[in-house]
Amino acid sequence: MNGNGLSFLEVIPALAIILALAQLCGRCAAWMGQPKVVGEIVAGIMLGPTLLGWVLPDWEAALFTSQVKSFLDVFSQIGIVIYMFLVGIGIEHQSRDRTLLLQAGFLGLAGILPVFLIGGSAAFLLGDVISPPHVSRFVFAFYMGTALSITAFPVLARILHDIGIVRTRIGNLVLTAASLNDAAAWLLLALVLSISNTGGGKGIWVSAGGGVLFIFFVLFAARPLLQRWVRKIEAAGRLSQVDLAVVLLSLFSAAWFTDWIGLHALFGSFVLGAAMPQSPVLRKYLHSGLMDLVVFFFLPIYFTYSGLNTYLLGIFQTVMLIPSLVILSIAFFGKYTSCMLATRKLGFSWRESSSVGGLMNARGLMELLIANIGFSNGIISQNVFSILVLMALATTVFAIPIYNLSLFSIKDKFYQTGQLDE
């Protein structure tokens, strides 16, 4: 330790407890038929004021000092920037099935527009009670509408893989719709950051204009260069250390620029990832080289840092109880109902439509990302942050049970008709 700097011995106990508890809770969640991310989110909440800080406040204060929290913040941000880049790479650019793409677009729109409007309107009416005093009602309502309408594309992909319906008609529809939903939500988030007074002090024109220029640069200037680079990688059949360095330098540069113009670092990494050429070789090596490290090391740190800012008991205070119930109800029932009705409109049965509504309702890590961005930029209070964390956890937990209750007899039909490829 140099001077008053952070000691290596201070960090190691915190990291050891974070990683061990995340693995334990993740395995418990998997044992109960839930995605591991559910257990890891719970582990992060347990280490915060909701449990450890409530039962053993001195332990929490000693384990997570302000310097340790700063360390966790930096490492979690690095990990999430890489993670969002990998999420962007995982989004399919096009589908050979035009009908599927149109249906997914309709479902994605149904999953975001009604909840955005209803949730935003409710947040506007509740603004005097739950929004920070320095944030305008419009910005708060815009942000909340965006936060309530997100779908967890990465978690959803894992859920569909676990229950074995990735390559079914429903699986393809839900995955494509979720990717479109996420892309739209991140664009809305970029917009609300650009119009808020917390957008890095750059002003709306710098933020919005810089964001548009960044997208055009990535799509029309950087992407042709990336395509030539990817062809060399495919010819070699592997990703070299130099290639990996190019990837990391590119994504951190993109993240730095979008953060500098007042949007957010995640916006830059996600856009760059989504613009990357579709290459099985690139995906294979990036996921094997980066995803395991991010999932095992960086994400538990991120969940813990989020948990340190989460106090679930605070949302049950008298002044917060009704707003909490309103927000959670709109988030859960609004998205489930709109997606279910949209799927029914596409010609699916009521059972199938209900299962799609439950799956599209999962918020998972994406909700935590948006909640942390809103909290760090001062758009939402700690109580609202806690509501969004609870909503992310609850909607993800109920995704698989709703699917099972809706489709327990339809799944056998998939096998009988050959729609499910083993």
For 247, phi and psi rounded to 5 degrees?
-60, -50
Asked if residues 182 and 366 have their Cβ atoms less than 8 Å apart, the reply is yes
Non-local CB neighbours of 130 within 8 Å, separated by 6+ positions = 123, 320, 323, 381, 383, 384
Place of tokens 């591991």: 36
Angle in degrees, 0-180, between the axes of helices 153-162 and 364-376, rounded to the nearest 10: 160
Instruction: Return d(Cα 192, Cα 263) in angstroms, integer.
Output: 9
Q: Give the count of alpha carbons within 13 A of 179, CB side only.
A: 22
pLDDT at 6: 66
Residue-range domains of the chain with CATH: 8-417 (1.20.1530.20)
Residue type, 239: L
DSSP string, 24-35: HHHHHHHHTTS-
pLDDT at 206: 75
> Could you say which residues of the chain have pLDDT below 70?
1-6, 92-97, 166, 197-204, 408-422
pLDDT at 93: 59
Instruction: Return d(Cα 320, Cα 323) in angstroms, integer.
Output: 5
Q: Both ends of the chain: CA-CA distance in Å?
A: 55
Nearest to 406 by CA among 339, 329, 331, 334: 339
For residue 49, the SS3 value is coil
Which pTM value belongs to this model?
A: 0.83
Instruction: Return d(Cα 103, Cα 121) in angstroms, integer.
Output: 27
